[in-house]
Structure 1
Amino acid sequence: MTTPRIAAHLHGFGDRIALVHDGRELRYAELAERVSAYAHDLGSGRRLVALAARNDFGSLIAYLGALEAGCAVLLTGSVTAELIDVYDPDLVIEATQDGSTPRPHPRRTGSAHTLHPELALLLSTSGSTGSPKLVRLSYRNVLANAESIAEYLAIAETDRAATTLPFYYCYGLSVLHSYLLRGASLLMTSRSVLEPEFWDDFGAQRATSFAAVPYTFDLLERIGFDRMALPHLRYITQAGGRLAPERVRHYAQLGERTGWALYVMYGQTEATARMAYLPPRLAAEHPDCIGIPIPGGTFTLEPVEGGDELVYHGPNVMMGYAETPAELALEPQLTRLRTGDLACRTPDGLYRVIGRRSRFAKIFGLRIDLQRIESGLAAAGYPACCTDDGETLVAAIECGDTAAAARLAARLSGLPVGAVRVAAVESIPRLPNGKPDYPTIRQLPGTPVAAHTDIRTLFADALGLHPETIDPRASFADLGGDSLTYVALSVRLDRALGQLPVSWPTMSVAELESLPRRRNRFGRSLDTGTLLRALAIIAVVGSHIGLFVLWGGAHVLLAVAGFNFARFAVTAAPAAQRLRRTLRTTAFIAIPTAVWVAATLPFSDYYGWQNVLLLNKILGPHDSATAGHLWFVEVLVYIVLASALLLRLPIADRLERLSPFWFATGLLGVALIFRYRSFNLYTPDNVAFSPLACWLFVLGWAAAKATTPWHRLLLSAVAVATVSGYFDETDRERMILAGIMLLIWLPSVRVPALIAGTAAVLADASLFTYLVHWQVYPLFGQHHLVALLVSLAAGVAAARLMGLARAVARTATGSAALDGQDLGGRLLSQLRDENVSRNRLAGKMIE
């Protein structure tokens, strides 16, 4: 066995900076020590290690430490049940959410496998298609390819690359290998190039390069990359699929003008990453070429049916494939790599790919197994023949619903529905020899999937994301959804699906896409929380106006807020991420309130400066005429912030994950102390309109976590006992109790489509209606009904204006992050499995 000397190599670079992440630096000597320590902890026995990695210090230390220990590393984004079942790893390591060094989880002592002495690394062949077929790479493969890349890129110790790709993807991993080989540094980040923070870090840390796939350039155009000032950028590398020649020429010329170079590269996982590169000086003149072989490699062209196949020869050619654990012991089986690409050599000595021979396609940097897509479609009743046109998956089907087939093909491939084109044909076009006529299939006009049935597009519109950055395995909660975006999306999803499952916020996008579309003639499904928000705001405004007397709506809204907090803020996401999301949602409540109140100050004495700061409940005055007008907003902000900070405590976070319902019920018990004791903080008349009303919020929280009839019976009993006697008005108590009982027992209701749409609009605008109605309804004197309708309309208009402002802001900055959402979709999100493993991660944290 070749013993890797990774730690010794790293130590040789001494105090040079090796890694930078979130403002922290790690120097080579310290990195070497941590790698050595991790290897020591793993022991000396050679084992099969499954490592789920992220772009952070901890994952990299675990990866290098496992190699240093002599282990064979199965590198992935998520250790799935399928990988466990097929390969039975001896040890599992999963990245931590905070980037700290992950603990190994041995599944046995010793190893259950016979591993070839040269086997170092196992990588997936097919991106996100789920295939257990792996590429076997040796230490020699990895080192040879890193040396070649470092040579033709001329990587120097002063270079610093930003990790724009996940390092369990062979392209991203090659960046790490080649930079660490030369003692250069890495800016470790998982941010998308869409985010301003990525470019802030890139500039502040003087990064000199980043890696891009074709889709990256779509994103760069959206953010105005050609107008950016990046004085330290030395080059951009491009691989992961074919970039259109006109775009190669554009970016090559842009680089020439602004002082950086474009390296177009060609490779496959089977060649450890790279096989060819196009020298930057030739890119503008020969944008349709893959260039020349990397140092140490050569190409030959071998005749096959349809042309000449490109065959690569070099020390980075893989040992072979593995589909079973027994194959991990096999000797190297290849001395050359048949790429599956048809190519030619130009008079200038450059190689150009002109077609594909194999049954794989590369779209958005993902390697798509076309045979697997065809088999999946056939099993669902869609006899099909699949190919690609370079940017789109194309399927010809002989029968069936083309829209449904497109959604299924998207789910099987991990592509967005917009990247799938399905054409219905009487019979699959074939050549005279009976083989499929792929050129004809590529030209078939597809039936587009209507935008309202494209689930990913609906998510993107609601959350302010780009459809192609949404991981199909992520849920609404995973993608940063909250009560502010829930209402509109739920109504649109119900319209698209015909009937929306109650549990849809926790279902993945792919699961929702796979649901059958149903035509329901009995109206729309409406979430009970949404209905209550709409009814409550009508009751609040109408009662203030004097049109009727239905007090209690604000307290129902408080319970609904707790219910939604539990659904959208108390998720399986890491505690720090949950806090950030909650703070952003709270800001969306607090900032418009402060702006509106400040805008009224010059024209009236309606509010004071305490109201602008949302501190009237704390600073007073408590006896002014308008002291209670904003009580609900202030109290809601206080309670949400307190709840979010509570869950940031490790002990509270751990207990909540262990038993969500009983944690909420215990918290309710504590909150009920303030239901019966004010501790002289407020007068008896003000207690119900103060932060001490938090027990109603927590009661709604517990209702959202109730999963059994016994849970619901317990909460119903608590609600009856605690609401009774809280107010002097029995009617108010009955209204509050009715709302809480609906939250506990009825997750959704079926209502006519008109009512569903109206309720959704009113619920979505409830905050703004509450804010503006105080200034609107006095304008109409005794015309109470008109005052109510105009107040509601003003709230809806204000909500729409705010939505427009947010959309304009996102467009101006080129970042979807401004929506207050944590950008769940990232570049190559189909390659990232982080969201998929969150439930499992929560279990690890509990342990």
Structure 2
Amino acid sequence: MRYAKGRMFAGIERFGASVAIVDELGDRISYAELAQRADELALPLGSSKQLVAIEASNTANALIAYVGALRANHAVLLLKGGNAQDERIHSTFRPNYIVRQGGHIWEHLSDGLPNEINSDLAVLLSSSGSSGTPKLIRLSHENLISNAHAIAEYLEITPSDRALTTLPFFYSYGMSVVHSHLMTGASLLLDDRSVIDPDLWTRFEGQGGTSFAGVPHSFELLERTNFLANPPAGLRYVTAAGGKLAPDKVAKFACALADRNIRFFVMYGQTEASPRIAYLPPEAAITHPYSIGRAIPGGELALEDEDGRRITAPGVPGELVYRGPNVMMGYAHGRDDLSRGKDVESLRTGDLATVDKDGFFTIVGRLSRFVKLFGLRIDLDDVEQWCGARSPGSAVAGDDRGIVLATIGAPDATLGNDLAAKLVIPQDKIAVVGMAELPRLASGKVDYPRILQLRTAEILPFETGKPLAVALAELLRIPAIGPNRSFIEAGGDSLNIVSASILIEDRLGQAPPGWERMSMAELDKLVSATGKSIPVPRPGVPSDILARAVCILLVVLHHGADIALEGAAIGLLMIAGFNFGRLQAPAVMTLGPLVPACRSLRRIVPLYIGIMVLYFIAKRDVFWPNIFLYSTFTRGYDDGATVIGLYWFIETYIWLILFSCLLVAVPFVARLERERNIMLPLIVLVVALALHLLVAPTGHVRAAELRSSFYLYYVFALGWILNFGTTRQRKLLLSIVALTVLVLQPAHRFQSGMIVTTGVAMLLLWIRRVEFGSRMAAWLTARIAHSSLYIYLVHPAVFMPLLTLFGRGEMLGIPARLIGALLLTVPLSVAAGLLLHALIDWTEQVTRDIWSRRQRAHAPLPLATSLHQPGEEMAAP
């Protein structure tokens, strides 16, 4: 790559009458006029080199002042303006002149000593965003010129190009857009509106725009519009930098824009490199969306190990090191440093990377502790030191979604807000967590990944609500779910699958098959890929949730009206088997049999035993099999003739869950489960059905015999195998199996039983989601399903008094008990079940809070220590 050395913007008048700038008012400024106005504005600065500051807004006046100062070889300090960090920079570096926001002349601030500024120094940019002591990056004219020409070369910028200034030029990425276009005779369309402002794109088209630059947040916003479906006319290329853009979004934008002959460049850089280091060609963005590409023209990228040895083998990580003419002169900590020459030859980026056989580099981690938020690179060690002064012993972790501050003991109520103000980032990007002691590794060092997992609902991704993992963790009442864990592994079971399914649907429009087995990272990718551009789905619920709600309502109606409406409880057992195959069986593979079983039964068993104890106290009698959960293996209390007999379902459910978890833990059975082999539930179904038929009673069938736990195991196994209906052929085969199996059950001699159970099986097999006309109906259905076991537990206490109240009479030819059940028993049972569920949730949460407070109160407090680790900070665009 060839470029002329000299001063930045020297010789731009050679482009003559060509348009250089379309300003914020729509006026056009030619290159000849730009050079003349810039030189005239710089005259008051004098001939000796000065340090001048510019509050760099996207206005013609600020840009003209910038061009003029560099053409006159003054050192320019680019500032945002109007924040505390700028004031600290002013007091430390004492600029001689300044052009403020909205101003059009140089304001004199102070007199500096002559010849105290290095002749090569061109631009000073802040390295640390807004945290810590001011530290500036010194960039020379050669740094800026070489980088501008390199960018223009790989972007193939021509004089016909016109870039929209979607980024301010105090930001190194925005600065590079200005440089690469004005140094090649192209033009700039000045604007500072959001990319989601429709008027911005109307102006873009009307003024002949051809390109724009975006940061990850820009593309998050654009996804919510019809930008990809209808990009603005005239758009030739788009660039993305300023932070990591997720690979799925890279591929999405690259593919969509390529279909319209628009090129999409992903770029990587650091302010220390003026700022561009690497770029990913548009054609590679589709095949290598996770990569930063290769070095820019004139530059060299390499990987080095801890000892500085070069790594050339593909796939081996090392620190990314860049060499090129755009590498900075060095840092400046005070005014005296401005006289220094170039003291940096290579740039150690602080990023860990690998290189593939095609020469493309991929960032895989970071060496130093910094994060990038809203274009600011923030040194976590600096933040930790600042927080430690306020709250001794604090530790700070972060990623590109936010910062987590862990304090020892109760945190200062204003700490999070004050930190947000200091860093100039939104308050919801900072979470403050009080702890009894900091989590530590075996080495005694602070466990920062663990602190990061403690992020709470206070941290939100850009305008998209709580991260899915955070929302699911709150649902499961656990601190966090790691990116590699699934809903099942985190403790999901049939008691919370309903709420989780609704949450997934809210994010994705429709719950994908097998979502409960996907890792949080995989689900997040689906959420990111879906974005907010999907149509809002019609209100509805997954089919298993509808079946569960309908079955529990039919159970209550059957008992409350005392009518022959069989099969609903059998349907609930089938759904329990279906959810076991989805949730508990996979969980046994990673957690063993007891944890999944206890998670599913920890609430139901104590409630059931409590109800039994109260019942027998009231009866002044006791039947120990009910108390110890084995009544379904005996004749039963009063042979099931009393209300206590209705609880056969709860005991059966408990035993089937417990037995099935133990079964799946058997080594050769576990092997089939890990392989997701359909033979496992098929064998269980065949064996269970054979046992059912062998012991099936003849003649008069007693209720206790029909409801024996293992007598009904085949129904549970049938629900289990329905999980494997993943193809049309399997659905047809399993439909035949289900219909055959259900006909053989003695209870299905009743027509209603046949209709309900076969209906449940077909619904689970063939219909993934059922839509409603009302969002309220969908919500109520989900709540009923979620509380189905609680409704079952309380409904006898509701319907028994009402049966006596309504008696055997009729009203308008309709049995009074049926009318009473529809109008009172069913609604009251549902309300009581929902209330009991809410009460249990509240009790559990209060218990957790009390336990946590006691743990913090009795835990020893470590001595305050300084956690700050000195080290240079790397700034990035």
Q: Which residue of 2 aligns with 1:18?
A: 20
Scaled by the length of structure 1, what TM-score is found? 0.50
Residue 165 of structure 1 and its aligned partner are, at CA, apart by: 0.6
Q: Distance in 2 between matches of 1:437 and 1:396?
A: 11
TM-superposition CA deviations, 1:125-183 (whole Å, max 9, x none):
12233742100011110111101101110001110000011111110000000001110
Residues 351 and 378 (structure 1 numbering): CA distance in 2 closer, same or farther, change over 3 Å?
same
Match of 1:123, as an amino acid?
L
Q: Distance in 2 between matches of 1:84 and 1:449?
A: 33
- Structure-to-structure mapping, 1:365-764, within 5 angstroms: 365-381=375-391, 383-401=393-411, 404-446=414-456, 448=458
Q: Distance in 1 between matches of 2:94 and 2:435?
A: 44
Residue 391 of structure 1 and its aligned partner are, at CA, apart by: 2.0
Indicate conservation of the 8 Å contact 1:302/1:308, yes or no. Answer: yes
Residues 34 and 4 (structure 1 numbering): CA distance in 2 closer, same or farther, change over 3 Å?
farther
Indicate conservation of the 8 Å contact 1:261/1:280, yes or no. Answer: yes
Match of 1:398, as an amino acid?
I
Q: Distance in 1 between matches of 2:114 and 2:437?
A: 50
The answer to whether structure 1 residue 92 and structure 2 residue 98 are counterparts is yes
2:76 corresponds to which of 73, 81, 91: 73
TM-superposition CA deviations, 1:656-702 (whole Å, max 9, x none):
xxxxxxxxxxxxxxxxxxxxxxxxxxxxxxxxxxxxxxxxxxxxxxx
Q: Which residue of 2 aligns with 1:550?
A: none
Indicate conservation of the 8 Å contact 2:238/2:262, yes or no. Answer: yes
Match of 1:182, as an amino acid?
T
Q: Which residue of 2 aligns with 1:497?
A: none
Residue 382 of structure 1 and its aligned partner are, at CA, apart by: 5.8
Q: Which residue of 2 aligns with 1:193?
A: 195
Match of 1:43, as an amino acid?
G
2:364 corresponds to which of 344, 347, 354: 354
Residue 43 of structure 1 and its aligned partner are, at CA, apart by: 2.0
Alignment RMSD, CA only?
A: 2.5
Indicate conservation of the 8 Å contact 1:382/1:399, yes or no. Answer: no
Indicate conservation of the 8 Å contact 1:312/1:339, yes or no. Answer: yes
Aligned length: 447
Indicate conservation of the 8 Å contact 1:123/1:136, yes or no. Answer: yes
Q: Which residue of 2 aligns with 1:115?
A: 117
1:341 corresponds to which of 351, 354, 361: 351
Q: Which residue of 2 aligns with 1:261?
A: 263
The answer to whether structure 1 residue 168 and structure 2 residue 178 are counterparts is no
Residues 384 and 225 (structure 1 numbering): CA distance in 2 closer, same or farther, change over 3 Å?
farther
Indicate conservation of the 8 Å contact 2:302/2:320, yes or no. Answer: yes
The answer to whether structure 1 residue 31 and structure 2 residue 34 are counterparts is yes
Q: Distance in 2 between matches of 1:196 and 1:115?
A: 45
Residue 385 of structure 1 and its aligned partner are, at CA, apart by: 2.0
Indicate conservation of the 8 Å contact 2:402/2:459, yes or no. Answer: no
Q: Which residue of 2 aligns with 1:145?
A: 147
Which segments of 5 or more consecutive residues in structure 1 lack a partner in the other structure? Answer: 452-830, 832-847
2:45 corresponds to which of 39, 42, 46: 42
Match of 2:102, as an amino acid?
T
Indicate conservation of the 8 Å contact 2:54/2:99, yes or no. Answer: yes
Q: Which residue of 1 aligns with 2:55?
A: 52
Indicate conservation of the 8 Å contact 2:7/2:70, yes or no. Answer: no
Q: Which residue of 1 aligns with 2:836?
A: none
Match of 1:299, as an amino acid?
L
Q: Distance in 2 between matches of 1:294 and 1:254?
A: 25
1:245 corresponds to which of 225, 244, 247: 247
Q: Which residue of 2 aligns with 1:184?
A: 186
Residues 106 and 112 (structure 1 numbering): CA distance in 2 closer, same or farther, change over 3 Å?
farther
Q: Distance in 2 between matches of 1:207 and 1:327?
A: 41
Indicate conservation of the 8 Å contact 2:372/2:399, yes or no. Answer: no
Residues 396 and 300 (structure 1 numbering): CA distance in 2 closer, same or farther, change over 3 Å?
same
The answer to whether structure 1 residue 63 and structure 2 residue 66 are counterparts is yes
SS in 2 for 1:435: coil
Q: Distance in 1 between matches of 2:159 and 2:111?
A: 41
Match of 1:90, as an amino acid?
N
Indicate conservation of the 8 Å contact 1:13/1:29, yes or no. Answer: yes
Q: Distance in 2 between matches of 1:161 and 1:104?
A: 27
Q: Distance in 2 between matches of 1:290 and 1:199?
A: 28
Q: Distance in 2 between matches of 1:106 and 1:113?
A: 18
Residue 228 of structure 1 and its aligned partner are, at CA, apart by: 2.7
SS in 1 for 2:337: helix
Residue 386 of structure 1 and its aligned partner are, at CA, apart by: 1.9
Residues 141 and 116 (structure 1 numbering): CA distance in 2 closer, same or farther, change over 3 Å?
same
- Structure-to-structure mapping, 1:789-804, within 5 angstroms: none
Residues 368 and 109 (structure 1 numbering): CA distance in 2 closer, same or farther, change over 3 Å?
closer
Residues 384 and 25 (structure 1 numbering): CA distance in 2 closer, same or farther, change over 3 Å?
same
Indicate conservation of the 8 Å contact 1:58/1:95, yes or no. Answer: no
TM-superposition CA deviations, 1:94-128 (whole Å, max 9, x none):
2326xxxx211223456466111211110111223
Residue 254 of structure 1 and its aligned partner are, at CA, apart by: 1.1
Match of 1:66, as an amino acid?
A
Residue 89 of structure 1 and its aligned partner are, at CA, apart by: 1.5
TM-superposition CA deviations, 1:268-308 (whole Å, max 9, x none):
11111100011110112211111101111111211139952
Q: Distance in 2 between matches of 1:23 and 1:160?
A: 13
TM-superposition CA deviations, 1:793-816 (whole Å, max 9, x none):
xxxxxxxxxxxxxxxxxxxxxxxx
Residue 402 of structure 1 and its aligned partner are, at CA, apart by: 7.8
Match of 1:71, as an amino acid?
H
Match of 2:92, as an amino acid?
V
Q: Distance in 2 between matches of 1:322 and 1:219?
A: 36
SS in 2 for 1:84: helix
Q: Distance in 1 between matches of 2:120 and 2:304?
A: 30
Q: Distance in 2 between matches of 1:33 and 1:171?
A: 26
SS in 1 for 2:305: strand
Q: Which residue of 2 aligns with 1:329?
A: 339
Residues 334 and 375 (structure 1 numbering): CA distance in 2 closer, same or farther, change over 3 Å?
same
Q: Distance in 1 between matches of 2:283 and 2:435?
A: 46
TM-superposition CA deviations, 1:402-439 (whole Å, max 9, x none):
86443333223222122223443333233333333333
Who wins on radius of gyration, i.e. which is larger? 2
SS in 2 for 1:63: helix
Match of 1:301, as an amino acid?
L
SS in 2 for 1:226: coil
Residues 5 and 142 (structure 1 numbering): CA distance in 2 closer, same or farther, change over 3 Å?
closer
Which segments of 5 or more consecutive residues in structure 2 lack a partner in the other structure? Answer: 308-315, 462-874
Q: Distance in 2 between matches of 1:55 and 1:227?
A: 29
Residues 382 and 212 (structure 1 numbering): CA distance in 2 closer, same or farther, change over 3 Å?
farther
Match of 1:431, as an amino acid?
L
Q: Which residue of 2 aligns with 1:105?
A: 107
Q: Distance in 1 between matches of 2:38 and 2:358?
A: 46
Residues 323 and 113 (structure 1 numbering): CA distance in 2 closer, same or farther, change over 3 Å?
farther
Q: Which residue of 1 aligns with 2:297?
A: 295
SS in 2 for 1:281: helix
Percent identical residues: 43
